[in-house]
Amino acid sequence: MAKFKPLDDRIVVEVLDAEERTAGGILLPDAAKEKPQQGRVIAAGPGELKRDGSRADMPLKKGDHVYFGKYSGTDVTVGGDDFKILKLNEVLARIETA
C-alpha cells in the first residue's frame, strides 16, 4: 500500500466499488453502473492554512467513510490501486455508523 501525505485541506480517498445490483436484485452490467460516489479516507492533510499562519481543524480522519460529487477530485493510480484526491470542500458528507 502506498503512503500518502496530503497537503493542507486535502484528503486521499480509496474509492469504493459501485453497486452491482439494483434494489430489486437486477444485476447491472459495467456500462450501466454509475460512477462511485463514496470512499474511505486513507490519509488527511493537516488542515487549511489560515492567513495568520495557524491551521484550521481537519474534520476528517483516516478511516472515515465519505460521499463526494461524481466528477470531483483528481483520480490517481498508485501501484495498481485507484485513489481520489479531494479538497475538503468537495466532500459532501461523512457517513456516520451507529
For the chain, which domains are there?
10-17+32-95 (2.30.33.40)
Residue 15 in contact with residue 28, Cβ under 8 Å?
Answer: no
CA angle, 39 then 13 then 34, to 5°: 45
Of 75, 77, 72, 76, the C-alpha closest to 87 is: 72
pTM over 0.85: no
SS3 state of residue 89: helix
- pLDDT tens-digit profile, the chain (98 residues): 567 788 999 999 998 865 555 566 666 565 655 566 889 999 999 999 889 989 999 999 999 999 998 889 999 988 888 899 999 999 999 988 76
Distance of alpha carbon 22 from its chain centroid, rounded? 23
